Amino acid sequence: MACEIRIFENERAAAEHAAEYITTILAAAIAQNGRASVALAGGRTPRLLYRLLADPPYRDRVPWQAVDWFWGDERLVPPDHPDSNYRLAAETLLNRLPIDPDRIHRIPTELGAEAAAVAYERTLRSLFGTHERDIPQLDLVLLGMGADAHVASLFPGTKALHETEHLVVANEVPALGTVRITFTPPLIRAARHVIVLVTGSEKAAAVRAALEETDDPDRVPAHILRGAHGTVVWILDRAAAHDLSLSTGPCP
């Protein structure tokens, strides 16, 4: 695997680079296979990126009808709830692009956490045609990271960090007093490309822990990315990169 750190002046420059890079990955996958698959992130950070992708010049770079859309995690709320990761992406990105509605694969939270995870795993397997032991390879998994170094809904000390069989699970998060539905480490690690977009000074310590501290995924969940099969690119702004001893270039 290859891992790279890319640092930009501010949040806007980081989001613009992410838009540039994502459209390159998706256009290349479509040119090669006739389709592309992406898992989106939730949270605050990707808003600007999603808006950029739906506007020129980025919107003109990808035949969006050929993209299958997934979510790397979801909160246990209905799709029209303000906290829904689906709703965030729909409003800022998907409703503004010429996409195929049959290719929007949202996590069916209305089934309840456990059943939603089972159903989503089934959706992934049927779309990728994989046998039970194989792991689908998404073209791109987009992640954010929390100040506690969680990625997707793999929070410190939670069970899903140790999942080896399933692609998607319901993960109890005692720190939030809730259950989240999340991609598991094996599914994230199988992706051809992983992008971690992180901005803001409140993430600086987590970025340092993720990139420069010794392996301890229970404390620093982002360490699960160290076993990724494809490329991992950390797109950071200067504030998030502040505590790193490294600069733009390969991960340590």
Which residues would be at the binding site for ligand 6PG (CB under 6 A)?
Answer: 41-45, 73, 75, 85, 144-146, 150-152
Q: Which CB atom, from 23 or from 85, has the smaller least distance to ligand 6PG?
A: 85
Give the shortest CB-129-to-ligand 6PG separation in angstroms: 27
User: Nearer to ligand 6PG by C-beta: 146 or 185?
Assistant: 146
* Distance separating alpha carbons of residues 62 and 58, to the nearest angstrom: 8
β-bridge pairing 2-8 and 249-250: antiparallel
Q: What are residue 168's phi and psi, to 5 degrees?
A: -140, 135
The Cα–Cα gap between 167 and 187 comes to 5
Q: Which two tokens stand for residue 221?
A: 């969940």
Q: How far is the CB of 109 from ligand 6PG (least distance, A)?
A: 12
Distance of closest approach, residue 87 Cβ to ligand 6PG, in angstroms: 11
Q: How far is the CB of 154 from ligand 6PG (least distance, A)?
A: 8
- Which residue, 32 or 159, is less far from ligand 6PG as judged by CB? 159
Burial of 165 (0-12, 13-18, 19+ CB in 10 A): exposed
Q: How far is the CB of 74 from ligand 6PG (least distance, A)?
A: 7
CB nearer ligand 6PG, residue 67 or residue 207: 207
Q: Looking at beta carbons only, is 15 or 26 nearer to ligand 6PG?
A: 15
**Nearest CA among 173, 233, 214 for reference residue 2:** 233
**DSSP bridge partners of 4:** 233, 250
